[in-house]
Chains A and B, each alone.
Chain A
Amino acid sequence: MTMFEIHIDSLQQSFSASSEQTLLSGMESLGKRGIPVGCRGGGCGVCKVRIDKGRYRCKKMSRAHVSAEEESQGYVLACRCMALSDIQLTVVGQMKKAVFGTQD
């Protein structure tokens, strides 16, 4: 199993995730309080992130939360996204409030 380094830019924090594991399950394993894990099925949108650097693959995500245009710009739901290389990401969804303590 290949392990990759996932770096959350604005948090200056990293974790390891395998190519078989979703980014969200890796973030859950950080043990940081308040990571708002929603449905874990690409439906509710609370774990939306933007991939700034790195390769990844995604399972189907709700179009209500990630438009085709956003998807082409690297916006994904962390619960549906798996790394294919080291990754740098920015938290942009409802998770942002819980991770950084701010609304926007």
Chain B
Amino acid sequence: MSMTGVLRPGHVQIRVMDMGEALTHYKERLGLQETDRDASGRVYLKGWDERDWFSVVLREADEPGMDFMAFKVDSVDTLRRLEGRVREFGCNVETIPAGELNHCGERVRFDSPTGHTFELYAEKDYKGTQMGLLNPDPWHEECLKGMQAQRFDHCLLYGDDLDGTIKLFTEVLGFKEAEQVYDGDLQIGTFLTCGMKAHDLAVIRHTEKNKFHHASFLLGSWEDVLRAADIIGRYKMSLDIGPTRHGITRGRTIYFFDPSGNRNEVFAGDYTYYPDYEPITWTADELGGAIFYHNQTLNERFLTVVT
């Protein structure tokens, strides 16, 4: 439930180096459903419990990473209002006409101080789920594929001007910081929410701009996270770390890489965030447990490998 005008993460466009391998990964292993392709070769996917037409767009390219992440807002009026505000903030703003992504209305694209490209949009075609809206079953046989990812949930991004991006999201777009990480007086991480989840976007301070750490997908339970681990073993996928739990957001999680080296997370569980909550703060001396709660130890690959 949004209380800010920005409803939720709406889609992410990810670059992959081999579309065939990527589709095996995202469709057969994660369990996303293909909903469209466009003239430029992009493939559109969604989780089985998502109602809008797509939440993941794959684009074949020479290097992996994230092209952009978009948030859905509650109305065209909100879109116009926030477009004005991101312009005032000083972002480079570009309007992308309806239909540039199939089934998606006009998008307002802007850059962030950490060098990432974000978008806002108000309208996307309704695709629906296999269960439908009238007397629905809780799931449908077509939903039971691979890890059974229910929906795209959030991204974690790395970039340099963390303070600037926090200011943009909190003061301009109405996000709240649910959790923050400090090394002394220097903030090194933020977990931002536009609704009642513990995070819709996370950003970590890093020397380079515009780096992509992971895109995350929601599963139903810890048991489902363990089953995802079995799938990673069965198909010899590239495991990063887990199954484990995060101190930050409390998520039960596993991380792995797509065939182009983009990191994915599937996770289950966090807590309900209300907008009157004060942020939770983590300190650098307790960072091991903040990130990996079970073994309380940082992992260099998790901290440094990005696309």
Contacts and interface: CB of A to CB of B under 8 A. Distances in A.
Interface of B: 17-18, 62-65, 238, 240, 257-263, 300-301, 304-307
Interface of A: 36-44, 46, 59-65, 94
A44 B65 CA distance: 9
Nearest to A63: B62
Given A39-B240, A62-B261, A63-B63, 14 more contacts: A36-B301, A37-B301, A39-B263, A40-B238, A41-B259, A41-B260, A41-B262, A42-B64, A43-B63, A43-B64, A43-B257, A60-B18, A62-B260, A94-B304
Contact of B257 (A40, A59, A63, A65): A40
B91 to A, nearest CB: 24
A39 B25 CA distance: 14
A61 B64 CA distance: 9
Contacts of B305: 38-39, 44, 46
A103 to B, nearest CB: 14
A39 B63 contact: no
A81 B260 CA distance: 14
Given A44-B261, A44-B306, A39 B238 contact: yes
A49 B208 CA distance: 22
A76 to B, nearest CB: 14
A63 B307 CA distance: 11
A29 to B, nearest CB: 14
Secondary structure at chain B's binding surface: helix, strand, loop or mixed?
loop
B60 to A, nearest CB: 10
B307 A39 contact: yes
Contacts of A61: 17
A40 B301 CA distance: 12
Nearest to A42: B261
B63, B240, B262: most-surrounded residue (chain A CB, <10 A): B63
B17 A39 contact: no
22 contacts: A36-B300, A37-B301, A38-B301, A39-B240, A39-B257, A39-B262, A39-B307, A40-B257, A42-B17, A43-B63, A43-B65, A43-B257, A43-B260, A43-B307, A46-B304, A60-B18, A61-B17, A62-B63, A62-B260, A63-B62, A63-B63, A64-B63
Contacts of B306: 44
A41 B25 CA distance: 12
A95 B304 CA distance: 12
A35 B306 CA distance: 17
A41 to B, nearest CB: 3
Contact of B64 (A40, A46, A59, A62): A62
Contacts of B301: 36-38
A42, A63, A64: most-surrounded residue (chain B CB, <10 A): A42
B24 to A, nearest CB: 13
B206 to A, nearest CB: 13
Contacts of B260: 41-43, 62
A39 to B, nearest CB: 3
B257 A60 contact: no
A39 B261 CA distance: 5
Contacts of B304: 46, 94
A46 B307 CA distance: 11
